[in-house]
Amino acid sequence: MAKHITILPGDGIGAEIMAEAVKVLEALQASGLDITYEQQHFGGTAHDLTGSCLPEETLQACLNCDAILLGAIGGPVYDKLPRDERPERGLLKLRSTLELFSNLRPAMLFPQLADASSLKPELVAGLDLMILRELTGGIYFGEPRGIATDEAKGNERYGFNTMVYSESEITRIAHSAFRIAMQRGKRLCSVDKANVLEVSELWREVVTAVGVEYPEVELSHMYVDNAAMQLVRAPKQFDVMVTSNLFGDVLSDAAAMLTGSIGMLPSASLNIDGKGMYEPVHGSAPDIAGQGIANPLATILSLAMLLRYSFDDASSADRIEQAVSKVLDQGLRSADIAAGGASASTAAIGDAVVQAL
């Protein structure tokens, strides 16, 4: 039976970049790829239409399909909604309902873009690292959480969250990370804050124990503050990094920028069976939405990741990645990677990828 994808364009530049990924998908369909898809509303645009960022119909479509391709969500207008109704909450609910605990965020530098990095080309040339971020636990979901009032302190308000990980949550993300390290350079760095946090002490202990099952993988541990520094000092020392939800959120943005543009990077969020949601690492960029200048390549590369990881179709994924590389060879650049030079529109880049396919 044909595999089925649910497409969620989302907010901001989401619709523009997704239109280009759909062009690529349709080109592959025309050359025989047996995949069907449907689009659903998600995020602030869904709230405008239905009163909910994650309408029931969208949630059901996500539960029933084989993989999800997401654009981006959020924007300043939606920051005024009550916290529980905001697009970000919808995204977190989707991640947790589908148990997408394993978030793969590759940071690889296309050689054509070495000059776009904010670091010296020799520090980043050939960069290819993978950050594994735990995505359904930690301080993002820990209870108790809230904003409360302390009567004993003259009704001063205080905010609080809980960073919590169970052994089983750490074990499953550790297995994901070791398996990915086995497919790559066999080096895994686990990032924590075990010098201060008990939750990190347990994290380190459990990751170390899981490591015994992967004797070929060289495991190291690093505190998160040092990891942030090492990422901008000598990023090529890393192969695979595994870390908790919050640390991974921060480190993956820093790692993304090493590659010159966050506009180039795809990501995958997988459940235990490999079902996944795929999305560009960048956000909804409301400041440039509707102008047709956003970079569609991260979304197109997310489609490649979807085919590779959820549908086991390495050959279609390779085709897309090679087409993207060809477009970069041709010198076509969206504004974010043009380094001040001439820039091409979102649609022109999508069309060029389809041509190169």
User: Token match 């901001």: residue?
Assistant: 12
Helices (H), 196-313: 198-211, 224-233, 245-258, 297-309
91 binds, among ligand IPM, Mg ion, none (CB under 5 to 8 A by kind): ligand IPM
Binding mask 66-95 for ligand IPM (x = CB under 6 A): --------x-------------x--x----
Query: Nearest approach, Cβ of 269 to Mg ion (angstroms)?
Result: 12
Cβ atoms of residues 260 and 268 within 8 Å = no
Q: What is the largest CA-CA distance in the chain?
A: 70
99 binds, among ligand IPM, Mg ion, none (CB under 5 to 8 A by kind): none
323 binds, among ligand IPM, Mg ion, none (CB under 5 to 8 A by kind): none
Q: CB within 8 A of 259, min separation 6: which ones?
A: 107, 108, 109, 110, 113, 116, 117, 124, 127, 265
Binding mask 239-268 for ligand IPM (x = CB under 6 A): ----------x-------------------
State the sign of the Cα–Cα–Cα–Cα dihedral 160, 165, 211, 312. negative
Query: Nearest approach, Cβ of 250 to Mg ion (angstroms)?
Result: 8
Query: Nearest approach, Cβ of 341 to ligand IPM (angstroms)?
Result: 29
Nearest to 103 by CA among 169, 54, 176: 176
Of residues 74 and 266, the one with the C-beta less far from ligand IPM = 74
201 binds, among Mg ion, ligand IPM, none (CB under 5 to 8 A by kind): none
DSSP E strands, the chain: 3-10, 35-39, 67-72, 102-108, 128-134, 146-150, 156-160, 187-192, 218-223, 240-243, 266-270, 276-280
Of residues 128 and 249, the one with the C-beta less far from Mg ion = 249
- 201 touches ligand IPM by CB under 6 A: no
Query: Nearest approach, Cβ of 329 to Mg ion (angstroms)?
Result: 30
Of residues 95 and 333, the one with the C-beta less far from ligand IPM = 95
Question: What CA–CA distances, in Å, run from 35 to 29, 31, 280, 297, 298?
Answer: 7, 11, 21, 21, 20
Q: Which residue is nearest to ligand IPM (CB)?
A: 88
88 binds, among Mg ion, ligand IPM, none (CB under 5 to 8 A by kind): ligand IPM
Query: Nearest approach, Cβ of 249 to Mg ion (angstroms)?
Result: 4
State both tokens at 76: 């300043």
Q: Which stretch binds Mg ion (CB under 5 A): 126-134, 243-251, 257-265, 340-348?
A: 243-251
State the sign of the Cα–Cα–Cα–Cα dihedral 27, 30, 35, 40. positive
- 249 touches Mg ion by CB under 5 A: yes
Buried b (16+ CB within 10 A) or exposed e, 255-271: bbbbbbbbbbbbbbbbb
Of residues 123 and 246, the one with the C-beta less far from Mg ion = 246
**How does DSSP classify residue 109?**
-
Query: Catalytic positions, please?
Result: 140, 193, 225, 249, 253
296 binds, among ligand IPM, Mg ion, none (CB under 5 to 8 A by kind): none
Binding site for Mg ion (CB under 5 A): 249
Q: Which residues of the chain form contacts with ligand IPM (CB under 6 A)?
A: 74, 88, 91, 249
